Structure formats: structure tokens, C-alpha cells
Amino acid sequence: MSVLPGGLRVCVEAVPQYGRGLAALALTVAAGGDDDPAGRHGTAHLVEHLMFPRSGGGSADPTGEGYAALVAGAGGVCNAETHRDHTVFHTTVPAESLPEALVWEARRLLGFAPTEDVIRTETDIIGEEIRGAGDAGRSWESALGALYPGSRDSFGTAAELAGITAGEVEAFFRAHYTARRMVLSVVGDVDPAGVMSVVREVFAGVGVIRVVGEAGTAEGIRVAGELRSAEEIRAAGEARSAEEIRAASEPRAAEKIRAAGEPRAAEKIQAAGEPRTAKEIRTAKEIRTTPLPAARPGVAVGHPLPDPVADRPAYLAQAVLAQVLGRSRLPALARSARDGHRLTSATVTCGYHGQWLASAAPDLTLAVLGRAPGTEVDVAVGIWRSVLRAVAEGPLPEAEHRRAVNSLLVAWHRQADSLPTRAVALGRDALLLPGSAGPDALPAELHRTTPAEVAAAARALLEGPVTVTELAPQAGTVPTAQAGTVQPARADTELAPQKGTVG
């Protein structure tokens, strides 16, 4: 891990065994749905979209070619995700194209200046994404908002985005996409020294805030440094001098960069590695939320997770518990309704939309239970609690515990072979989970989780606050094999990026 003079943290890891001839880079930014300005819910999501302009020129793309087109032209792939507490951009390219990809990444940060027509295009696309969001996402966001008032989902609100201006978008970008709030991670068949040489050249001015006048205000925001040309950056690892690299585009004058919106005090800007302030959790034992439409009758039950930084062993015990519930205890109940339990299916997820260790606190365990016809919500919730009590009352059998841990380890090892997943994990650890020993420490941490800790995790769910959301079919809804959130009993084990908004 290195830190550039402006504060950008850079992690470079050579892992040729995971993808010989390939390299992945991830830019992780401490800006997400929770940071959206009042009345402009979805700004973080919109900025993510605007980093992939669908029309060239006048935006983060002075060459006229979109970032995604440049990456595709090199034979690579790219995508991004907006979360509650961060946004992550990830790109995979042939290792020989990594210097160019780093230039393109820096270029879209240095040249971010979206036009009104591009903004309108992307807000329309986001509106379609919001309308097409699945039931599972709505259940998760409903539970989080009920437990932690003020939490915002990452999609946004189409009505609030409809009137957003270029000035508002740039103000958000300048306030949040600062060097101290970003981590750049590069993983693959690379030479770390050569990569750092390129990064120092092309990212010198990325996210740098220069304050003029009163200390701690943003009125003097400007981008420093010149943008380097990809064509003139030799392969990573070769010695280069600054004189050998010409500027690829006209530097933007400071006075041309708007600092729209309210000034942001420097001391309020979160640096990478500084934990976010935990939100106050509601203390009500059970919180009933507004019913949600669904393809089949069901109920979503949400529980708060321990802080993965302050109480990591308890957090990992919850991850194991989700496996036990979703793979061992609930499947037998969900196979049929003949035994009187009246559950038709069950899904148990641990972490942000099923991605564990993908978010700082607050976070959730969410159970989505399918209800057979005539089964009331309270009955389904009672079954869920009875299964939790069975785990809480005694240590798990060793074989059942081992199966649950092994299923998490298989998921981890499978995804650790993915370069973008590894790059994203390194960035998230540095930005959201300060003090983490890194993704390679996770297997040993999981092995140390005991059956007694899993029983304690079940007791914590029983004794802590809980949200209950009825999932109710709407008139005219026709259930299909692909509709709705209720699926065959399982536990979600995803660590990797799952969804993207580019396309």
C-alpha cells in the first residue's frame, strides 16, 4: 500500500497465478446512497453512471470515445456498483494494456464535467433500473431503513433525480471524489514497481483539493497536474522521465471548474481508512414495515449485524449462522407444506444484498420466507424464531458446523481466483474495514469460528431488534419460475461484485 502526495491510497499486488496475462484495477470511493443530498436521492448512483458517458466529448471523455468503449477496444471488461456507503469501479484488461487503462481511469476523474443531455440520458436509465429492481432489493432496503432511520438505498428516486442539474452533480463529485476518500487497487500479472511508476504520473492531480482563502472550504477547488498520454507511456516497469510524456489534453483551468453547492469543510471530508460513524439503531423489539408487492406470498425478516470492524468474530459467526439456517435447518421445512410448517421456501442472506464483508456497519441478515396459501405472516415468523431457538439452545453438531464453514471457504476460494473480485476486496478492506488483515486472512478467521459462537449469534438475533415485512401478491400478478425473490432454500455466500449499472 502506498499513498500519493494528494492522499490517494494505492494497493498493487502481483498474483499472476490468478490470471496470467491479465490485470484488474478497482477504484473504490467513499460515496454512496447515504451521502446523497437532501432532495436528490440517487446522486451517487448518477455519478457512477456518468463515469461511463454514453456520448463523447464535453464530459469525462475528451477523446470522444466512452470509457467502456476504450476498455472493450483493448479486449477488456468494466463495470461498477453503487452501494449504501461506497461506489466501486472495476476493470479487467490484458496486462499489457494496464498502463492505458490507468490513463483512462485518471482521465475520467480529471475531466469529469457532465453535460445536461448526458445527465438526462442517464437519469432516464436509472429510472428504468429503479422500476425493474427486484423484490429482494426492496425487502433489504426496507429492513435497513426501518432499523437505521436515515439510511438510503443505493438506487435513488426517479422523481428527485428528474430535476438535478450539472452544477449539483459536479458539486457532489468534487466534494466526495477526493483523493483521501479513494483507494486504487491493481491486481494481476503485473510488476508493482512499474505500476506505481505509471500511477504516480497519471494520478498526480486526481482528487486533489487546493484551498484558496479561508482554510477548510471548497471554494478554491481545482484539479492539479497534467493528463498523460497513454500512447507515450511505455510498458509498466520501464524507466521513464517526465519530459518523455506529453499532456494528452488541455489542462482545465481552475476557474472553469464549478464549485456548486454549499462549501464543504475540510474536516468533514472522510479520509480512506477512517470508519464511518455508526447509525443509531432503533430499540423497538419488532418493527412492522409497509407490506411490499411480490410474486408469491412471503415475509422478509431483518436483523442487524455486528460491526465487521469492532466485532469481527461475531460478524463472521453470523455469516456461518446464515449458512447453517439456509443450508441445514430450513431446507427440510421448505421442501413441502405437508408437515404443517407451512413454509414453501427460504433464503437467508448475510451482508449488503447478500454480499458479506462488502459494507461497513450498519448491515443486515435478511431471511425471506415463502408462505404456503393460508399461512399468516406471524406463523411464518414464528417458524423462523423456532429455528433460531434450536440453534441458540446448544452448540451445533461439529459436522454441521464444519459444512457451513466449508461452504463459505469454497465461495471465498472460488471468488479469490477472480481478479476483479480480489481488486475490489482489497479496496473495500482499505476503505471500509480499517485494521483488516486482508482477504487472505479470512480463511483462518473462519476456521476459528466455533459452534458456541454460532449459537451466540442465533441468540443475538432472537434478543435484538427485528423488522418484519409482509410480501403480498398484487392483483393480476402471475407467479413464474423467475419472478419474485422467494427461491429454493439456500444461503447467499457472495463476496464478489454482483450487479452493475453499465449497459
Q: Confidence band (pLDDT; 50, 70, 90) for 388? A: very high
More confident residue, 390 or 435: 390
Residue 56 predicted with pLDDT over 90: no
List residues bridging with 468 in a β-sheet. Answer: 288, 301
Q: Which residue has the higher pLDDT, 226 or 189?
A: 189
Give CA torsion, residues 228, 230, 236, 240, to 10 deg.
-50
* Mean pLDDT of all residues in 199-218: 63
Comparing 59 with 74, which gets the higher pLDDT? 74
Average pLDDT over residues 236-260: 34
Contact between 453 and 318 under an 8 Å Cβ cutoff? The reply is: no
Mean pLDDT of all residues in 107-128? 91
Of the pLDDT bands very low, low, confident and very high (cuts 50, 70, 90), residue 490 is very low
pLDDT on residue 348: 94
Q: Which pLDDT band, with edges at 50, 70 and 90, does 151 fall under?
A: confident
Cell of 500: 452493475
For Cα atoms 269, 53, 195, give the angle at the middle one, nearest 5 degrees: 65
221 contacts 257 by C-beta, under 8 angstroms: yes
Average pLDDT estimate for 296-318:
94
The grid coordinates of residue 194 equal 512499474
Q: Is the confidence at residue 258, as pLDDT, over 80?
A: no
Question: What are the b/e assignments for 333-360, b being 16+ CB within 10 Å?
Answer: bbeebeeebbbbbbbbbbbbbbbbbbbb
What is the overall mean pLDDT for the chain? 79
pTM, rounded to two decimals: 0.79
Q: Give the Cα separation of 9 and 11 in Å (integer).
A: 7
CB 56 within 8 A of CB 131: no
Q: Is the pLDDT of residue 457 over 90?
A: yes
Query: What residue type is 202 in one-letter code?
Result: V
CA distance 331 to 325: 8
Residue 221 φ/ψ, nearest 5 degrees: -60, 135
Starting from the edge strand earliest in sequence, which strands make up the sheet with 22-29, in order? 2-3, 9-14, 182-188, 22-29, 87-94, 77-82
- pLDDT value of residue 131: 79
Is the pLDDT at 243 greater than 90? The verdict is: no
Check pLDDT > 60 for residue 11.
Answer: yes
Distance from first CA to last CA of the chain, Å, rounded? 32
Q: What pLDDT does 63 receive?
A: 53
pLDDT bracket for residue 177 (50, 70, 90) = very high
Task: Give the pLDDT confidence score for residue 277 in this predicted structure.
Answer: 53
Report the relative pairing of strands 466-473 and 286-288 from DSSP bridges. parallel
Residue 170 has a CB neighbour count (10 Å cut-off) of: 21
The cell for 246 is 506529453
How far apart, in whole angstroms, are the C-alpha atoms of residue 294 and residue 299? 10
* H or E, element range at 470: strand 466-473
Helices 43-50 and 166-176 sit at what angle, rounded to 10 degrees?
90
Residues 362-381: tens digit of each pLDDT: 999 999 999 988 889 999 99
Amino acid (1-letter code) at residue 351: G
pLDDT at residue number 350: 93
With beta carbons less than 8 A apart as the criterion, state whether 348 and 492 touch. yes
Least confident of 227-236, 260-269, 271-280, 390-399: 260-269
What's residue 233's pLDDT? 41
Query: What SS3 class is residue 263?
Result: coil
Alpha-carbon gap, residue 200 to 183, rounded angstroms: 14
Q: Which of 54-68, 353-367, 402-416 has the lowest mean pLDDT?
A: 54-68
Per-residue confidence (pLDDT) for residue 246, from 0 to 100: 31
Q: Give the cell for residue 33.
A: 446512497
122-136, 428-442, 474-488: least confident range: 474-488
- Characterise 61 by phi-psi region: left (phi > 0), alpha (psi -120 to 50), beta (else): beta
Say which residues have a Cβ less than 8 Å from residue 237's Cβ, sequence separation at least 6.
191, 193, 194, 197
Mean pLDDT (whole number) for 189-204 = 95
